[in-house]
């Protein structure tokens, strides 16, 4: 019953600062402008069998998913340090509701980014990518799954790591490889051999691959979709266990 109030609470946190809200709008705008507009001209040769814009759009959506997952999960760590989490735990609501409320706001924020990207694609890049309502809907579902995946992955880390310096170190160690040792900017096949195994254990690679299948109107790699779903479920379960033990 109080769940929608928790969601509203999270929404207030998001909307309280217009700068934070603006960031959620600017992130996709800037990333898309820089990569689709500037880099597509530099990388004139086709990449991975597609044109670069068609190649990079799923990657940008993956980046939006990840940044929103990070944005919504990391404050849990700050909340633990400031006592805010203890306060939340003492509310007459279930702990699962606290996490779900955060997930929903992450999805709302991520949806804004998604809509901006789709709008820009339809306005400026329709000659490179054909978007149908069906493909937009499918892409949105994958985008939401991606947001949940990264929210859960970071949530798992936030809940498991006790020390702040360890937390900062691990976030930094993970964040960069998640982006650069994946197929966001370039196909895995074109990576140096030493990085390929890392790219293959990076869930971002599988998420982007599924989105790329949808954008390119190719048959979806269901194995990749399965891997993304399994990583999501496992990270939720591990994160949930760790979340309940945060004060132990």
Task: Indicate which single residue of 18, 41, 44, 90 sits in contact with other proteins (rule: CB under 8 A).
Answer: 90
Task: Indicate which single residue of 49, 94, 134, 197 sits in contact with other proteins (rule: CB under 8 A).
Answer: 94
Question: DSSP letters along the chain, please?
Answer: --HHHHHHHHHHHHHH-HHHHHHHHHHHHHHHIIIIIIIHHH--S-BTTB-HHHHHHHHHHHHHHHHHHHHHHHHHHHHHHHTHHHHHHTSSS-HHHHHHHHHHHHHHHHHHHHHHHHHHHHHH-TTT----HHHHHHHHHHHHHHHHHHHHHHHHHHHH---HHHHHHHHHHHHHHHHHSSSSSS-GGGS-GGGHHHHHT-HHHHHHHHHHHHHTT----HHHHHHHHHHHHHHHHHHHHHHHTTT-
17-56: which residues touch other proteins (CB under 8 A)?
17, 20
Task: Indicate which single residue of 22, 34, 86, 234 sits in contact with other proteins (rule: CB under 8 A).
Answer: 86
Of the listed pieces 89-97, 103-111, 149-157, 224-232, which binds other proteins according to CB under 8 A? 89-97
Q: Does 2 bind other proteins (CB under 8 A)?
A: yes
Q: Does 93 bind other proteins (CB under 8 A)?
A: yes
Task: Indicate which single residue of 91, 128, 140, 198 sits in contact with other proteins (rule: CB under 8 A).
Answer: 91
Task: Indicate which single residue of 44, 92, 189, 193 sits in contact with other proteins (rule: CB under 8 A).
Answer: 92
Task: Indicate which single residue of 29, 48, 74, 89 sits in contact with other proteins (rule: CB under 8 A).
Answer: 89
C-beta of 8 vs 222, nearer to other proteins: 8
User: Which phi and psi (to 5°) does residue 208 adopt?
Assistant: -65, -35
Q: Does 84 bind other proteins (CB under 8 A)?
A: yes
Q: Does 128 bind other proteins (CB under 8 A)?
A: no
Q: Does 96 bind other proteins (CB under 8 A)?
A: no
229-248: which residues touch other proteins (CB under 8 A)?
247-248
Q: Does 201 bind other proteins (CB under 8 A)?
A: no
C-beta of 59 vs 239, nearer to other proteins: 239
Burial environment of residue 207 by CB neighbours within 10 A (0 to 12, 13 to 18, 19 or more): buried
CA distances from 3 to 14, 107, 173, 231 (A): 17, 16, 34, 26
Cβ 198 to other proteins shortest distance, Å: 35
Q: Does 5 bind other proteins (CB under 8 A)?
A: yes
Q: Which residue in this structure is represented by tokens 């937390």?
A: 167
Cβ 6 to other proteins shortest distance, Å: 7
Task: Compute the residue count for the chain.
Answer: 248
Q: Does 101 bind other proteins (CB under 8 A)?
A: no
Q: Which residues bind other proteins (CB under 8 A)?
A: 2, 5-6, 8-9, 12-13, 16-17, 20, 75, 82-84, 86-87, 89-94, 247-248
């Amino acid at each position: 019953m109080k769940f929608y109030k928790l969601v509203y609470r999270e929404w207030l946190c998001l909307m309280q600062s217009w700068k934070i809200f603006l960031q959620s709008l600017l992130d996709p705008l800037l990333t898309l402008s820089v990569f689709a507009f500037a880099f597509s001209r530099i990388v004139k040769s086709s990449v991975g069998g597609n044109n670069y814009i068609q190649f990079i759009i799923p990657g940008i959506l993956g980046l939006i998913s990840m940044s929103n997952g990070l944005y919504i999960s990391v404050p849990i760590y700050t909340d633990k340090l400031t006592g805010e989490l203890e306060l939340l735990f003492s509310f007459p609501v279930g702990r699962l509701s606290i996490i779900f409320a955060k997930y929903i706001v992450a999805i709302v924020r991520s949806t804004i980014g998604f809509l901006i990207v789709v709008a820009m694609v339809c306005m400026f890049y329709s000659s490179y990518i054909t978007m149908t309502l069906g493909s937009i809907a499918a892409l949105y579902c994958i985008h939401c799954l991606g947001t949940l995946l990264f929210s859960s992955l970071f949530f798992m880390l936030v809940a498991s790591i006790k020390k702040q310096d360890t937390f900062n170190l691990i976030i930094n160690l993970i964040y960069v490889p998640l982006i650069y040792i994946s197929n966001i900017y370039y196909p895995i096949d074109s990576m140096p051999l030493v990085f390929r195994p890392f790219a293959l254990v990076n869930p971002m690679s599988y998420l982007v691959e599924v989105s790329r299948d949808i954008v390119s109107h190719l048959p979806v790699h269901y194995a990749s979709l399965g891997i993304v779903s399994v990583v999501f479920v496992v990270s939720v379960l591990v994160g949930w266990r760790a979340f309940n033990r945060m004060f132990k």
